[in-house]
């Protein structure tokens, strides 16, 4: 239970900022059918990160030198397993606390699920193809870091949905995601190249989800979106969100 409470504590700064802006921005974002228009410059950051990650697998001297220094700290924490979902969850928590996101609940969920499928699916494929051994030697599924990919996918989601309200939403999300990447190295589970590639993959997956969103929305745009609802719940043994949709 203490780790679930930690999640709530970590999200608290988001909630404070959300409540402070509620009256000012309550009507700023109506429901929208727009996704993210593709432009080549959107590929620069994820492209650079992925390229650096791939280069690191080909010449792993830098990875080994960095990991040798980090291994001296003898890290052992489960914080990365908790923080990995915080950026993505924040998009719903902020909305629940009164700060509407750029897209309504159903549309945002479609984008989030699309991003998750792209992130996890591509990570599994790359892990199978590359077969890079982890720093601790536990298996050959090191490249890329899926934890880092999921965290950065969520961070980019925050930036897209709330970046126009304040740049600090995106900065907060990317800071947490960067922390997840570092903790994967701290726990001796990933090389630096794994983390860099995971970050690029996560960002690219979320951007791709926004590019695909207008086409996906055509499949359900005439449905009544008011029938979708999310209700957070918690107890001494579990914490989660109930999702319901009436056809």
The average confidence (pLDDT) of the chain is 83
Q: Give every CB contact of residue 90 below 8 A, 6+ residues apart in sequence.
A: 11, 14, 154, 158, 172, 173
pLDDT in tens, 42-52: 999 999 999 99
pLDDT in tens, 207-241: 999 999 988 888 877 655 455 555 555 444 555 55
Instruction: Please tell me the distance from the alpha carbon of residue 79 to that of residue 12, in angstroms, as a whole number.
Output: 17
* pLDDT score, position 218: 84
pLDDT in tens, 54-104: 999 999 999 999 999 998 898 899 999 999 999 999 999 998 888 989 998
Residue 148 in this model has a pLDDT that exceeds 80: yes
């Amino acid at each position: 239970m203490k780790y679930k409470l930690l999640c709530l504590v970590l999200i608290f700064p988001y909630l404070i900022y959300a409540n402070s802006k509620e009256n000012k921005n309550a009507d700023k974002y109506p429901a929208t059918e727009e996704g993210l228009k593709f432009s080549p410059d959107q590929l620069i950051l994820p492209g650079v990160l992925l390229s650096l990650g791939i280069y690191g697998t080909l010449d792993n001297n830098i990875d080994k030198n960095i990991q040798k220094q980090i291994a001296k700290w003898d890290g052992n924490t489960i914080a990365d397993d908790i923080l990995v979902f915080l950026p993505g969850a924040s998009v719903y928590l902020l909305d629940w606390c009164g700060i509407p996101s750029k897209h309504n609940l159903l549309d945002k969920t479609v984008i989030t699920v699309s991003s998750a499928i792209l992130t996890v699916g591509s990570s599994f494929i790359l892990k199978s193809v590359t077969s890079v051994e982890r720093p601790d030697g536990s298996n050959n599924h090191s490249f890329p870091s899926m934890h880092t990919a999921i965290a950065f996918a969520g961070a980019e989601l925050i930036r897209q949905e709330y970046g126009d309200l304040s740049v600090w939403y995106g900065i907060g999300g990317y800071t947490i995601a960067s922390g997840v990447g570092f903790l994967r190295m701290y726990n001796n589970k990933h090389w630096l190249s794994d983390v860099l590639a995971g970050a690029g993959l996560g960002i690219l997956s979320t951007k791709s989800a926004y590019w695909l969103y207008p086409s996906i929305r055509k499949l359900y745009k005439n449905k009544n979106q008011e029938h979708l609802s999310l209700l957070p719940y918690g107890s001494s043994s579990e914490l989660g969100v109930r999702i319901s949709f009436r056809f």
